[in-house]
């Protein structure tokens, strides 16, 4: 562990636990697992080589190069399309099948999962 990354590590640990607390409402084992998951993602972003590291900004050292910006745009377009299609198609699909699910509760998680899946796939394709 480099001392130069210490502010990044500490800030991301705090952010992860605050987010997990906001999602779960209290500190439980689920909140702890959620926080550990996000800490792992932050570490992956820092040490994967997908982004440039600029230590002049200790709390926000990651910088996107041109390739990372293109990947972000493609992931955003894919998640937007999945979000639109699921918002339009899920109500009619669930009406036909008779399932009583809240479609608004499914649209946003599907779009978020799509965004990170596409981003991880495209960034890992070196």
* Three-state DSSP string of 42-102: HHHHHHCCCCEECCCCCCCCEECCHHHHHHHHHHHHHHHHHHHHHHHHHHHHHHHHCCCCC
Least confident of 18-27, 42-51, 53-62, 103-112: 103-112
For the ranges 7-16, 19-28, 90-99, which has the lowest average pLDDT? Answer: 90-99
At residue 5 the predicted structure's pLDDT band, cuts being 50, 70 and 90, is confident
| CA 89, 91, 92, 93 torsion-angle sign | positive
Please state, in angstroms and rounded to a whole number, the distance separating the CA atoms of residues 51 and 67: 9
HSE toward the beta carbon, residue 80, CA cutoff 13 A = 6
For the residues 7-29, what does the mean pLDDT come to? 88
Choose between 126 and 19: higher pLDDT. 19
- Statement: residue 29 has pLDDT above 80: yes
Global pTM? Answer: 0.68
Decide if pLDDT at 81 tops 90: yes
């Amino acid at each position: 562990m480099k001392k130069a990354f210490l502010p990044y590590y500490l800030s991301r640990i705090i952010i992860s636990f605050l987010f997990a607390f906001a999602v779960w409402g209290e500190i439980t084992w689920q909140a702890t697992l959620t926080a550990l998951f996000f800490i792992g993602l932050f570490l992956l972003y820092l040490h994967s080589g997908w982004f440039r590291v600029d230590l002049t900004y200790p709390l926000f050292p990651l910088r996107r190069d041109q390739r990372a910006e293109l990947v972000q745009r493609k992931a955003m377009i894919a998640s937007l399309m999945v979000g639109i299609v699921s918002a339009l198609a899920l109500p009619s699909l669930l009406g036909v099948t008779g399932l009583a699910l809240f479609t608004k509760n499914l649209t946003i998680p599907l779009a978020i999962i799509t965004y990170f899946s596409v981003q991880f796939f495209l960034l890992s394709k070196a």
